[in-house]
Chain A
Amino acid sequence: MTLSHWMLILLLAIAAFSIRVLGLFAGDAIRTSRFAWVLDDVPGLLVVALVASSLAGQSAVTWAAAAVALGVAYVTNHVILTMCVGGLAYAGLASAGPIWAALH
């Protein structure tokens, strides 16, 4: 394990615990402040940005699998089911390409 791996674990542990401690001592004050909307909005914006970074510059197969995952997520609102179907869709589409090319 490199220094970077150690740094990531330590920084993440310190940040995660600090956020919890902040919630313990200042959570009520923050939740009633005029910046409370930032707490509500950041997680969603960040997750959307994560999806975008995963899809940026990727093949049509990845975008198609993402569309499948979005459909499953929309209907089921279930993380594990979406992971399973999305992963299978990606694997299926990725292997279908070479098979399709070989047949034609």
Chain B
Amino acid sequence: MKHGVFAILPLASGAAVYGFAFGLLAAQVGFPWWGISLMSGLVHAGSSQIVAVEQFAGSSAVLGAAFAGAALNLRYIGIVASLSDILSGLSLRMKLVAIHITGDENWALTMAERAKTPRVGAEFLLGSGIVMISVWTVSTTLGAVAGASLPDLDRFGLGFAFTAAFIAMARGMWRGAQNLLPWAVSLAGTLAAVQLGAPKAYAIVAGACLGLVVSGLVRRKERVVA
């Protein structure tokens, strides 16, 4: 477990910066520091929390904001499924703990270390996960404490910093030309929905669904051609 604790520290320091900035944002939209602490401990999904809080700040639509945040987390179905070998020796209770404290960073590090050294397993995942959830909870809480005592940070670029973070996330998810048409439809669909007066949280869901339909059609066409 100690191996996982120390190996994750460089990645945890990056998450701390991100967490602090999220705490600042959340405090600016009315979450108290203990609410952020509770959210980070219970949800433990950085990008989902950011998306949900950003959407909630814009429209106060709870269901739409939660849906957008949760949908971004769908990748965890694949992430957790890929851990089946690593988790096989644990009790059900420990499996549930392990999957809760698993995040992008410690999952990726565990898989990379396991590829090099097959005996790396559940203990490494648990050690690195404990560090990640602790760092995430503490850094978001500290950000919220700082954010509550600061003036409106939006004009200093804080709100836009998260738009920039989404742009960077999209860059990381880009898989090539096959994404172009579905992403363009998602972009245009969301812009149109907002222009037509839909709350942003629901416009996002509508845009993403349109993109998904187009992606399905493109894939079907590719299968027919092949």
Contact = CB atoms under 8 A, between A and B. Distances in A.
Identify whether the interface residues of A are mostly helix, strand, loop, or mixed: helix
Contacts of B112: none
Interface string B68-98: 1111111111111110100100000001100
A87 B158 contact: yes
Contacts of A57: 194-195
Given A38-B212, A52-B186, A87 B157 contact: yes
Contacts of A2: 30
Contacts of A28: 81, 84
Contacts of A5: 30-31, 35
B183 interface: yes
A68 to B, nearest CB: 8
B108 interface: no
B124 interface: no
Contacts of A17: 100
25 contacts: A12-B39, A12-B45, A15-B69, A16-B48, A17-B100, A19-B70, A19-B77, A21-B96, A22-B80, A23-B99, A24-B96, A27-B77, A27-B81, A27-B84, A41-B212, A44-B174, A45-B208, A46-B72, A47-B72, A50-B51, A53-B190, A56-B203, A77-B168, A79-B18, A86-B157
A42 B60 contact: no
A82 to B, nearest CB: 4
A87 B161 contact: yes
Interface in A31-58: 31, 37-57
A78 to B, nearest CB: 7
B203 A53 contact: yes
B215 A8 contact: no
Contacts of A52: 186-191, 194, 204, 207
A12 B69 contact: yes
B43 interface: yes
Nearest to B215: A41
Interface in B39-75: 39, 42-45, 48-49, 51-56, 58, 60, 62-63, 65-66, 68-75
B73 A16 contact: yes
Contacts of A60: none
A30 interface: yes
Given A49-B207, A79-B169, 5 more contacts: A11-B70, A38-B212, A53-B55, A53-B207, A73-B168
